[in-house]
Amino acid sequence: MKKVIMSITAFILIAVFVSSSVFASTELKSSIGKVLGTPYKYGGTTTAGFDCSGFVRYIFGQFDVKLPRSSQSQAKAGTKVDKDDLRPGDLVFFNTSGRGISHAGIYVGDGKFAHSSSKGVRYTDLDDAYYAKRYVTARRVATGEDYSKMVSEEEETADDAGE
């Protein structure tokens, strides 16, 4: 019974947090929300399991944005973005292996990114101790109409106001 109550409480707290955040009503957030908790699977590209670049590619595929398969290749797509200029939908890249870019995620606003890690698909703060010191670069791959499908103008403006 305690586990049920704790699960319900956790769900309510997550729902309140997500609904109050800047990225709560975007199509991007909705697409990510549908796969939150999906387990990590090396080489995974489907809802049965994702690796980091498979997750990024899957989400962007829903908006007709074509991306390369690997995080190293994805880090060369689009245009470079300074960390201070991130907007929801930008890709963020990390060196988690000590040998260059080895992890990718999607910036969702509010200082957070979505990614598939060993703990599955989840949101993490960019300033999380582990990821902050491994951050390498960011790329903007969705622009114009593609971007409009992902994030409404109101959300983009609200995110910019938070800077």
- Digit-coded pLDDT (tens) for 128-163: 999 999 999 999 999 998 899 898 644 444 444 444
Q: Tell me the percentage of the chain whose pLDDT exceeds 90.
A: 72
Residue of 112, 115, 139, 140 with catalytic role: 115
Given 32, 52, 86, 141, which residue is catalytic? Answer: 52
pTM for this predicted structure? 0.80
For the chain, the domains span 2-161
14 is catalytic: no
- Name the residue among 67, 136, 141, 65 with its Cα closest to residue 103: 136
CATH pick for 2-161 out of 3.40.50.720, 3.30.420.10, 3.90.1720.10, 3.30.499.10:
3.90.1720.10
Verify whether residue 104 is a known catalytic residue.
Answer: no
Element (H, E) at 19: helix 2-20
Task: Say whether 76 is catalytic.
Answer: no
CA distance 69 to 43: 9
